[in-house]
Structure 1
Amino acid sequence: MEVQASGELRLAFADDLFLRRHRGLGAPVVNQFVWRFAARLPERALDAYAAELARGGLARRAVPAVVPGARRRWVPHEERHAVDHHPEPLAADAAVRTWIEARAALPHDPAAGPAWRLATAPLADGGRLVSLTVSHAVADGGALLDAMARASRAGTPRRLPPPGDLPLLVRDLRDAGGQVGAVGRWVLDGAVARVRGGRRAAAAPAAPASSASSTTARPARVDLPDDWAPPWCTVELPSAEVAHAARAHGGSQNAWFVAVAAGLVHRTGRVGPHEPVPVALPVSTRTPDDPRANATRIARVQVDPALLEHRDLGGVRAACRSAYEAVPASREPVPLALVQMAPDRLLRFLPPPPAAAVLASNLGAPPAEVASIGGVPAVAMTALAHQPGLSAADAAATGGGLLAWATDVGTTTTVAVVALDPLRVPDVAALRGHLEAELRQWVPAAEGRWVA
């Protein structure tokens, strides 16, 4: 954990990475959960829910250190925006899409705060949407789920640890020293690993390519409008149909979702049809009473195209299990502490890291207290991530990629996908066509409800 000996909470590497995006090093990333309710919610229930969120783990802002090399600190920040109650019913998919996107496009400043917003809008069919948007610097998926659960249990907010009795200058000096020590340990561990494993590495076969196949044709130039934004879509499916498809093909719902995500990559052409698909799988390292904003690592699995061709979810599940087991021993290619200590002006010269072919985040079935507000259960939940202001050129520079989420609430499985690939997936129609075709392979009889 990133809690120092003094008790205070410093920004982890991922916190710092996402914070810098708000300072111009890339487009900010805003996480979003959208609940869909079959009936209206009392305004007082939403206001009470927002008040609890303002006392919990989302109520923080990042404060600069006074010593170079020391990390920023998280401090409490209980100021909050009023709940945004949209007055008019959203009567069409286009209106729903516009409303969802507009919530994420509002400022979410993790340095000045507040970095989260709660909003609600009625639907023409008598239902209601509720949106919670949060800067990724302040909360990953696990932190968001924890904050939502605690907000439903009034009186159990997540408190940041106190700074302790040491003067700020001393605390910063200690943290800067810890950062230097972390860099030294990374270098030393690498040297030891090279000495111990040199012979084994020399005899090992070449690793398979983990990116798009070199035989995949580069997409033709696509002229995109200046106001291009990453397209996204979300569809609700009967959970029973998804579970039946998973069992029928020898796997779990998670394996099904990974296979769907990998199949989408083949359909977009990012990876050739006979090439393995590199899939990034978020893994939470969060512990009980963990105050960290971001506590996620990534498992990386190569999905064999033969598994997809034969819809062998047992094989997909086994490959995912091996990827999860490899996470604790994985080593970062550069010392993260060194990157975190580097000033913005230096990092601006570094090329953007390549995007994963697809990141597949399966949130599963959240607890009932997460899937409800004020005691009213939602009929579906959607998870998304937005990058307001991301240009087509910046997205294309990373090589493109997909982001996908799955959630199970009640009798509904929701799949949401964002495409950061302007050349291969230029708009919502293209993305929805790929997703419809892929889902039809698995749940041909299911009628999906397209939210937007």
Structure 2
Amino acid sequence: MGRLSVVDEIFLRTHRGLGTPIALQGLWRTADRIDPALLHEVHTALSTGPLGRRVIRPRVPGSRRSWQRNTRAYPLSFTDQPIATTALMAWADAQGTDLDPEFGPGWRLAAIALDDGGFLVSLTCSHALADGRALVLAADDALGGTSLTADATAPSTARENSAHRDTTSRSASTTPESDWADASRQWSIVLRGTAKALRRGIPDQPHQATGRDRTDAPAPVQTHGAILQCTVADWDRVAATQDGTANSLFISLIANMLWSSGFQPDAIDASLPVDTRDEPRVDNDLAMTDITIDRTDTPSTIREKSRAAYERRMSSPGGMPEELLQVIPDRWAYALSKGAGERDILCSNIGTLPAALRTLGPHRCLGVAARAIHPGITVAQLPRTRLSGYLCRIADDYILSLVSLDPKRIESPTELTGLAQQTLLNADLRVRAW
């Protein structure tokens, strides 16, 4: 099934406590009750699909970890006793616990009844298994949409021959390499790349996160989430009146929410994930870029900044080859890459969701959201990022998911929802909160 990429291993380290814990989550909200038999069918499809795998440690120093099929899964969690709709975000946040991409199931399917007569369904997976777009592809495959081929369900395979067009390490061919061959290849890349980097002088220290007081306190901290829904027609109208795009309006809104929460600096640094797939594939196939936004920026100027940013990507630590992070001990790799990709806000545009995700069997979905959550996060693990936004389109609606990582300024989901609603209203957007 191939070997882990550099990005896969970054998220595997966060699972082990080296960084901010992250899980990916898809949420479906229906207007009516769901037959559990339907969800058992989806659960079975997910078990045998691309999420059904786990990490295997190599036997040779320098060789990359590999993927192995794993059909063992948590049983479907189905609760027919309704909860209040005001509690749905708290329930959704709790679905990321105990995910283990290495020794246990790395994903979970759960559903709960709501007191408005509908249901909320959650699919959560460790970020080591998939990024946001990959989770969408896995769900689409399980729900009978686009069926993924064998290559598409095997991460980091059949791509290495063209891997050096970028800096992400992947495996050498469709035939699995031995650990010895992989280690030899990895060390060769690292030694050549390091020598080349050193010829240019001693590399600069890797970027370290700034802008938040660091602490070693292990105390748990509560993040807060909100989900809002807006028609495509309304969103695109507002973007067009400001000579922007749906994406630049999204980035502008997240920045303005942060300022409205009490963030003082006049400049906000935004990290922007970039999907680097050349075909449908369930893995972490992404890169990061960033822009700086000031208070005079509009969706129009953000559009131009983003366009330029997408032409460049954040580089490897200190100019060294990224493969270095896979041949040294995890704690060293974490120290070298700590804070990479973290900025004041994260704006992840997941894109248009497949048609198969609009329904669950005969049940039409009122909305479908995709986001990241942070199970078990402590004060010591809080990143520089204060506010994360995730945008996706499903049919004629945009779904905006927000996660606040600033418990001092945002004290509850209600406060976050209110802040978001006011910011969107100021932009002449009419929205419905989940």
Q: TM > 0.5 between the two? A: yes
User: Alpha-carbon deviation of 1:238?
Assistant: 3.1
Tell me what 2:188 maps to. 181
Which residue of 78, 95, 101 corresponds with 1:103?
95
User: Alpha-carbon deviation of 1:265?
Assistant: 2.9
2: CA distance, partners of 1:186 / 1:284: 25
Identify if the C-alpha distance between structure 1 residues 345 and 283 changes in structure 2 by more than 3 Å, giving closer, same or farther. Answer: closer
Asked whether the equivalents of residues 26 and 390 of structure 1 are also in contact (C-alpha less than 8 Å), the reply is no
* Gaps in structure 2 of 5+ consecutive residues: 158-170, 202-206
Tell me what 2:167 maps to. none
Tell me, yes or no, if structure 1 residue 335 matches structure 2 residue 321. yes
Tell me what 2:139 maps to. 148
- Amino acid aligned to 1:391: T
User: Alpha-carbon deviation of 1:117?
Assistant: 0.9
2: CA distance, partners of 1:230 / 1:319: 30
Which residue of 24, 27, 30 corresponds with 2:17?
24
Map residues 61-72 of structure 1 onto 2, 5 A cutoff. Answer: 61-72=54-65
Tell me, yes or no, if structure 1 residue 33 matches structure 2 residue 26. yes
Identify if the C-alpha distance between structure 1 residues 412 and 132 changes in structure 2 by more than 3 Å, giving closer, same or farther. Answer: same
Instruction: Give the 3-state SS of the residue equivalent to 1:287 in structure 2.
Output: coil
Tell me, yes or no, if structure 1 residue 404 matches structure 2 residue 389. yes
Tell me what 1:206 maps to. none
1: CA distance, partners of 2:79 / 2:323: 43
Tell me what 1:112 maps to. 103
2: CA distance, partners of 1:271 / 1:340: 38
**Normalised by the size of structure 2, how large is the TM-score?**
0.83
Tell me, yes or no, if structure 1 residue 321 matches structure 2 residue 307. yes
2: CA distance, partners of 1:366 / 1:164: 31
User: Alpha-carbon deviation of 1:44?
Assistant: 2.6
Tell me what 2:128 maps to. 137
1: CA distance, partners of 2:387 / 2:303: 20
User: Alpha-carbon deviation of 1:136?
Assistant: 0.4
Tell me, yes or no, if structure 1 residue 230 matches structure 2 residue 223. yes
Tell me what 1:369 maps to. 356
Which residue of 76, 80, 104 corresponds with 2:73?
80
- Amino acid aligned to 2:308: S
Tell me what 1:280 maps to. 271
1: CA distance, partners of 2:65 / 2:114: 42
2: CA distance, partners of 1:49 / 1:249: 42
Tell me what 2:296 maps to. 306
Identify if the C-alpha distance between structure 1 residues 364 and 346 changes in structure 2 by more than 3 Å, giving closer, same or farther. Answer: closer
2: CA distance, partners of 1:387 / 1:84: 20
Identify if the C-alpha distance between structure 1 residues 261 and 133 changes in structure 2 by more than 3 Å, giving closer, same or farther. Answer: same
- Amino acid aligned to 2:188: G
Tell me what 1:421 maps to. 406
* Gaps in structure 1 of 5+ consecutive residues: 1-7, 196-208
Instruction: Give the 3-state SS of the residue equivalent to 1:369 in structure 2.
Output: helix
User: Alpha-carbon deviation of 1:237?
Assistant: 2.5
Which residue of 361, 364, 372 corresponds with 1:385?
372
Q: Which moved more, 1:34-43 or 1:127-136?
A: 34-43
1: CA distance, partners of 2:363 / 2:293: 40
Identify if the C-alpha distance between structure 1 residues 155 and 25 changes in structure 2 by more than 3 Å, giving closer, same or farther. Answer: same
Identify if the C-alpha distance between structure 1 residues 122 and 320 changes in structure 2 by more than 3 Å, giving closer, same or farther. Answer: same
Tell me what 1:344 maps to. 330
Identify if the C-alpha distance between structure 1 residues 53 and 19 changes in structure 2 by more than 3 Å, giving closer, same or farther. Answer: same
1: CA distance, partners of 2:386 / 2:368: 23
Identify if the C-alpha distance between structure 1 residues 27 and 321 changes in structure 2 by more than 3 Å, giving closer, same or farther. Answer: closer
Identify if the C-alpha distance between structure 1 residues 180 and 88 changes in structure 2 by more than 3 Å, giving closer, same or farther. Answer: same
1: CA distance, partners of 2:178 / 2:236: 51
2: CA distance, partners of 1:84 / 1:349: 38
1: CA distance, partners of 2:311 / 2:372: 27
Tell me, yes or no, if structure 1 residue 54 matches structure 2 residue 47. yes
Q: CA RMSD in A?
A: 3.3
Instruction: Give the 3-state SS of the residue equivalent to 2:401 in structure 1.
Output: strand
Instruction: Give the 3-state SS of the residue equivalent to 2:377 in structure 1.
Output: coil
1: CA distance, partners of 2:287 / 2:146: 30
Identify if the C-alpha distance between structure 1 residues 44 and 272 changes in structure 2 by more than 3 Å, giving closer, same or farther. Answer: same
User: Alpha-carbon deviation of 1:189?
Assistant: 5.2
User: Alpha-carbon deviation of 1:356?
Assistant: 1.4
Fraction of identical pairs, as percent:
29
User: Alpha-carbon deviation of 1:390?
Assistant: 1.1
Tell me what 1:202 maps to. none
Asked whether the equivalents of residues 53 and 68 of structure 2 are also in contact (C-alpha less than 8 Å), the reply is yes
Instruction: Give the 3-state SS of the residue equivalent to 1:379 in structure 2.
Output: strand
Residue by residue, what CA displacement relative to the aligned partner does 1:370-414 show, whole Å, maximum 9, x if unpaired?
33332544221122212222112431xx44422111122234322
Asked whether the equivalents of residues 96 and 375 of structure 2 are also in contact (C-alpha less than 8 Å), the reply is yes
Tell me, yes or no, if structure 1 residue 437 matches structure 2 residue 402. no
- Amino acid aligned to 2:305: A
Tell me what 1:203 maps to. none
Tell me what 1:3 maps to. none
2: CA distance, partners of 1:114 / 1:363: 25
Instruction: Give the 3-state SS of the residue equivalent to 1:378 in structure 2.
Output: strand
Instruction: Give the 3-state SS of the residue equivalent to 2:81 in structure 1.
Output: coil
Asked whether the equivalents of residues 317 and 336 of structure 2 are also in contact (C-alpha less than 8 Å), the reply is no
2: CA distance, partners of 1:302 / 1:189: 31
- Amino acid aligned to 1:403: S
1: CA distance, partners of 2:192 / 2:357: 40
Identify if the C-alpha distance between structure 1 residues 210 and 259 changes in structure 2 by more than 3 Å, giving closer, same or farther. Answer: farther
User: Alpha-carbon deviation of 1:336?
Assistant: 2.3
Tell me, yes or no, if structure 1 residue 449 matches structure 2 residue 427. no
User: Alpha-carbon deviation of 1:131?
Assistant: 0.5
Tell me what 1:243 maps to. 236
Q: Which moved more, 1:367-376 or 1:117-126?
A: 367-376
